[in-house]
Amino acid sequence: MNDNSHQSVSVLLGEILADCHRAIENWRRRGVPIQLLRDLAAADNSLPTRKFLAAQVNTPGRILEDLLDQGDPEVLVILASQERLTGGQLQRLAKSSLLAVRVALAASKNASGPLALLLAADAELEVRLALAGNPAISVRIQAVLSSDASPLVRAELLRLKRLDEEIQYALCDDWDLLIHLKALLSPRLSYSCLQNWAASGELISQLAIAARKNLPEEIWRILAGSTHLQVQLAVARHGQLPAEQWQDLARSTALALRLELAGKKQLPLPVQRILAQDSDAGVRRALAANPDLDDGIGMFLAQGRNQTVLEALALNPGLLPGTRAELLKLDSSELQKMLLANRALTAEQLTLLVENCAQEVLFHVRYRKLEARLLSEKSRRRLVQER
């Protein structure tokens, strides 16, 4: 070893002994000359140096063999991710009595072929979990692990971004209910799996799919045909359907479903027409309270003269000029008070209310302390006269 080489080794060794982890990361990016690695191995055999040598991508095979023979646990864990190891050396690591070494090997890119099969049969759950979470494993290994005795291993497979579609099918059909649900809720579940399970008719499967985010409309359409009320309610709350299917749901014999629909935001007009004629007053009242109620439907509901429906219309915060005009025609002081309490009333509607309300309502008008500029001259005169 010449003076320059000795100096280079001394500098590198100083870095390693000062902070082994940082030295490993720094030199991985830069690359250590092979001769410098040989000189370092000859100059020092401390644990930090052995860890550094085990981590370098171009460490000579003879040095790797020496490190393997020394059998230090921390060094072996690092060697498990060393891509320059031979098949025989990797087999030695796979048969190591040290759990941490086998776990590190299962999580590395070296976990392939016969070695991965050996790890998939490992008695320790931690090893199989590490293998199941390894994105580098092949479809064959995915298939082996999908029938693992532990549900934790099968569940871990669902984290893989490139999980084979056949494996997805198998996990969706898993006997363990939690795995089945976890598979159906997986964000990477294939479209064909969604279709099949949405059409399965199984309550818990359909509910799990209905709970997914950003579900395609085609899947919602399948779920809308479910015979289970809980699924239909989920569709009513969150689904996206063509108008025809919404109308079919509005004609359902299930009162709970019609009630849910009546309060839905942005309810299509044809569906509102159906629900406005519902035989149940509760459905009509829920529709009357819907902020997205169509004004024409509101006027129709007002003509029904059902008191609870009328009260819901009076308190509705939507833009309903025609409906409120119909309510004023009824000459009901109770409805007029409710209309007055509705903060959504426009200046024009307030004026109309003051001009036509019953005498006892005027007190409430004054109590609300309306700005005079909001009212017409006629309504202001009436307020002054009634003081």
Residue 257 pLDDT: 97
Alpha-carbon distance 250 to 46, whole Å?
A: 78
Confidence band for 340, pLDDT divided at 50, 70 and 90: confident
Task: Say which amino acid occupies 322.
Answer: G
Average pLDDT of the segment spanning 47-68: 93
Confidence band for 2, pLDDT divided at 50, 70 and 90: very low
Helical segments of 146-280, H only: 151-157, 165-172, 177-185, 191-198, 203-210, 217-224, 229-238, 243-250, 255-262, 269-276
Q: Look at residue 366 and tell me whether its pLDDT is greater than 80.
A: no
pLDDT digits (tens, 9 = 90+) for 148-182: 999 999 999 999 999 999 999 999 999 999 999 99
Residue 341 pLDDT: 79
- Opening angle at CA 342, ends 338 and 344, nearest 5: 155
pLDDT digits (tens, 9 = 90+) for 269-325: 999 999 999 999 999 999 999 999 999 999 999 999 999 999 999 999 998 989 988
Q: Which of 4-18, 52-66, 294-308 has the lowest mean pLDDT?
A: 4-18
> What radius of gyration, in Å, describes the C-alpha atoms of the chain?
37
Q: Do residues 291 and 314 touch, judged by C-beta distance below 8 A?
A: no
Alpha-carbon distance 302 to 323, whole Å?
A: 7
Residue 28 pLDDT: 80
pLDDT digits (tens, 9 = 90+) for 106-139: 999 999 999 999 999 999 999 999 999 999 999 9
Torsion of CA 145, 148, 153, 159, to 10 degrees: 40
* Cα distances (Å, whole numbers) of residue 325 to 299, 307, 319, 349: 9, 16, 12, 8
Confidence band for 8, pLDDT divided at 50, 70 and 90: confident
Alpha-carbon distance 152 to 138, whole Å?
A: 19
Average pLDDT of the segment spanning 38-55: 92
The secondary structure of 109-122 as a DSSP string is TT--HHHHHHHHT-
Task: Say which amino acid occupies 370.
Answer: L
Over the chain, what is the mean pLDDT? 89
Q: Which of 53-57, 331-335, 374-378 has the lowest mean pLDDT?
A: 374-378
What's 71's DSSP letter? -
Residue 309 pLDDT: 96
Tell me how long the chain is. Answer: 387
Residue 212 pLDDT: 93
**Sequence-ordered strand ranges (E) for 11-85:** none
Alpha-carbon distance 241 to 247, whole Å?
A: 10
What's 59's DSSP letter? -
Alpha-carbon distance 387 to 374, whole Å?
A: 19
- pTM of the predicted model as reported, rounded to 2 decimal places: 0.72
Residue 27 pLDDT: 87
Q: Do residues 63 and 37 touch, judged by C-beta distance below 8 A?
A: yes
Alpha-carbon distance 191 to 213, whole Å?
A: 14
Residue 187 pLDDT: 86
Q: Exposed/middle/buried for 200, CB within 10 Å: 0-12, 13-18, 19+?
A: middle
pLDDT digits (tens, 9 = 90+) for 94-103: 999 999 999 9
For residue 168, what are its two tokens?
Answer: 């997805």
Q: Look at residue 4 and tell me whether its pLDDT is greater than 60.
A: no
Torsion of CA 369, 340, 323, 274, to 10 degrees: 140
Task: Say which amino acid occupies 275.
Answer: L
Alpha-carbon distance 19 to 35, whole Å?
A: 22
Closest by CA position to 383, among listed 367, 342, 330: 367
Residue 384 pLDDT: 60
Residue 376 pLDDT: 66
| 6: helix, strand or coil | helix
Residue 328 pLDDT: 84
Residue 107 pLDDT: 96
Give the distance from CA 136 to its chain's centroid: 25
Q: Do residues 221 and 245 touch, judged by C-beta distance below 8 A?
A: yes
Closest by CA position to 353, among listed 381, 371, 375: 375
Q: Look at residue 3 and tell me whether its pLDDT is greater than 50.
A: no
* Cα distances (Å, whole numbers) of residue 262 to 218, 245, 265: 23, 15, 9
Closest by CA position to 234, among listed 214, 196, 208: 208
Q: Look at residue 367 and tell me whether its pLDDT is greater than 70.
A: no
Q: Look at residue 344 and tell me whether its pLDDT is greater than 90.
A: no
Q: Look at residue 382 and tell me whether its pLDDT is greater than 80.
A: no
